[in-house]
Amino acid sequence: MAKVKVLMGLKGAGKTKELISLVTAALEVEHGHVVCLEKERKLTFDIPREARLITASDYAISGPEFLKGFISGLYAGNYDITHIFIDSLYKIAPFAGDVHAVEMFVDWLDAFGEANNIKFTVSISADVNGASEGIRKYF
């Protein structure tokens, strides 16, 4: 079973609202720490305080490799993390339209999640009809 769930849709499709609901639900059932990574400080009052909310712009994440290192560092500092939510992946780590790089990153999340028993939920602002098979398998 995949450790990654992708929420995909155009701006205004309700991805962030769904993500907030999923964070809240995860806090009720997870037996570890829940982390939510966002680009800017817009979810401060929407995410329950029991979740660790991290603002990516504070760390100047410059691309997918940096984001992999950041996530690895989060886990290295806290082995009790059981779920990481990433809101607006393209805003946090620019992929410059490289679909293959996005697929590789999401596959890496899945492998990292499997190896460390962490679930990931990732929102992507893009037309779901244009999603590659490599991304669709995580819907």
Summarize pLDDT for 49-64 with one digit per residue, the tens. 999 999 999 999 999 9
Residue 112 pLDDT grade (very low, low, confident, very high; cuts 50, 70, 90): very high
Summarize pLDDT for 22-48 with one digit per residue, the tens. 999 999 999 999 999 999 999 999 999
Report percent pLDDT > 70 for the chain. 100
Q: Which domains does the chain have, with CATH numbers?
A: 4-136 (3.40.50.300)
DSSP state at residue 73:
H
